[in-house]
Structure 1
Amino acid sequence: MILFPAIDILNEKCVRLIQGDYAKEKIYSNSPLAMADRWISLGATALHIVDLDGAKTGNATNQTIIEQITSNTNVPIQVGGGIRSMEQIENYLSIGVQRVILGTAAVHNISLLNQAVDIFKDKVAVSIDARDGFVATDGWRQTSNVLAVDLVKQLEQIGVQTIIYTDISKDGMLQGPNFQELENLQHASSVRVIASGGISSNDDVKKLSDMNLYGAIIGKALYDNSVDFTELLEVTRNVS
């Protein structure tokens, strides 16, 4: 299982938000590039970057910073946050991003998703945020009547190969992921599942790895030193 340290960029700084609330921001570093270097030096084989400014505005506000990271590192990087056009997708891929992540755009603009997947294949992933098993959109403000499991099946038919699943109630709370829902998603399709939200211990990572998930994104627990990244890597290596 791939461990993705999260680097969330807001106002050119590395921050964490609790449950996506911009009013609950904590700054961890003034240099996202230095933070990327730190995780890679500790053994990270991939990074998960979110442009939080872009998530609000729909503009690739932090693309220059992200390009600095891709230019100075040699690990695969996936990027999300306000990517809502083919032009943005193409721009990110052209600067060395391995995978772009579509969120709300994938729910509201199926034609964009179809076109992106048709052209860029597995370089396009979809982020699914959910509350009580139902898909949430628009910065988590709206909960739809669409079950996450049903959406994953639809995405698989379109050709999406990777999803990032975040349980809103768990994100930033260090209370563990929603294992049951992740297991449901894992069994519902052949789409690769990356877990996000709530991961707070070695046991959480071991359980996710035992479930044969494709990946897990670690955020707040790393930045608050609730877990040790090198230990987490060992946990994934020791899973039978």
Structure 2
Amino acid sequence: MQLYPAIDIKNGQCVRLRQGQFHDVEIYSQTPSKVAKQWEAMGATYIHLVDLDGALAGRSVNEDTIKEIVNEVSVPIQVGGGIRTINDIESKLNLGVARVIIGTKAVENPAFIKEAISNFGADRIVIGIDAKDGMVAIEGWEKVSNYNAVTLGLQMKEIGVKTIIYTDISKDGMLQGPNIEHTRVMVDATGVDIIASGGISSLKDLEKLTDINVQGTIIGKALYEKRFDLKDAIELFEKGE
């Protein structure tokens, strides 16, 4: 299972939100690139970045910070937040990120995802499905749509999507464990690579996610709050030692 330590960027700083609430912010570092280097030093083989300001604004906001991180580490990086046009995708890939994550736009315009895959290849495009009670949340989690998460997952698979990040936003930043049940349904129903996100608090949580065959897991607050050591987690779940 691939582990993705997360760096959420707001106003150029490394932060975490609780349940995706933009007013409930904790700042962990003024220099996100230092955090990225720290994760890499601990053995991270992939880093997950989110431009929180971008997600809310619907356009890229923290591009300089993202570029700095890309330049500081040698591991691949995936980036999400405010990517809504083909130009947005292109500019992110030109910064040197390995792949981009598209959320809101997948709900609003599936044809756009098809075009993105056709232009850049399925390996560079990841779909972020953020859900609350099984329904898809959009626009930086500010709205819950009337779209079922699994239905959207199946639609994305049909278009050619290979990888989906599935986030349960009621769990995110709460350190109460991931939503195993909903994540398992997504894994079993779609058959694509599912990256689980939201609520991971312990090595036990990672074990449960391994058991339901997710491709990877995004770990945020648990690392910042030192609930467990990234190095230990990588040895146990990524290297299988």
| TM-score higher than 0.5 | yes
Secondary structure of 2:60's aligned partner: coil
> Which residue pairs with 2:117 in the alignment?
117
Secondary structure of 1:199's aligned partner: coil
Secondary structure of 2:210's aligned partner: helix
Tell whether the 8 Å contact from 1:209 to 1:239 is kept in structure 2 after alignment.
no
> Which residue pairs with 2:103 in the alignment?
103
Distance 2:142 2:100 in 1: 23
Map 1:73-152 onto structure 2 (within 5 A). 73-121=73-121, 122-152=123-153
Secondary structure of 2:166's aligned partner: strand
Distance 1:69 1:146 in 2: 34
Residue 143 of structure 1 and its aligned partner are, at CA, apart by: 2.2
> Which residue pairs with 1:217 in the alignment?
218
Residue 225 of structure 1 and its aligned partner are, at CA, apart by: 1.0
Distance 1:160 1:47 in 2: 20
Distance 1:239 1:41 in 2: 19
Distance 2:170 2:212 in 1: 21
Tell whether the 8 Å contact from 1:134 to 1:143 is kept in structure 2 after alignment.
yes
Closer/same/farther in 2, CA of residues 222 and 2 from structure 1, 3 Å limit: same
> Which residue pairs with 1:161 in the alignment?
162
- Kindly provide the amino acid, as one letter, of the partner of residue 67 in structure 2: E
Distance 1:84 1:237 in 2: 32
Closer/same/farther in 2, CA of residues 163 and 237 from structure 1, 3 Å limit: closer
Residue 142 of structure 1 and its aligned partner are, at CA, apart by: 2.5
> Which residue pairs with 1:37 in the alignment?
37
Secondary structure of 1:25's aligned partner: strand
Residue 238 of structure 1 and its aligned partner are, at CA, apart by: 6.8
Closer/same/farther in 2, CA of residues 238 and 87 from structure 1, 3 Å limit: closer
Distance 2:57 2:28 in 1: 23
> Which residue pairs with 1:182 in the alignment?
183
Gaps of 5+ in 2: none
- Kindly provide the amino acid, as one letter, of the partner of residue 32 in structure 2: P
TM-score normalised by structure 2 residue count: 0.96
* Residue-by-residue CA offset, 1:98-135 (whole Å, 9 max, x unaligned): 01000111111223212101111220111011111111
Gaps of 5+ in 1: none
Residue 138 of structure 1 and its aligned partner are, at CA, apart by: 2.3
Tell whether the 8 Å contact from 2:6 to 2:49 is kept in structure 1 after alignment.
yes
Choose 55-64 or 79-88, whichever is displaced more: 55-64
Residue-pair matches, total: 240
Distance 2:143 2:60 in 1: 23
Distance 1:92 1:137 in 2: 21
Distance 1:23 1:59 in 2: 20
Distance 1:159 1:184 in 2: 20
* Residue-by-residue CA offset, 1:24-58 (whole Å, 9 max, x unaligned): 11000010100000000000000000011111112
Identity %: 50
> Which residue pairs with 1:5 in the alignment?
5
> Which residue pairs with 1:193 in the alignment?
194
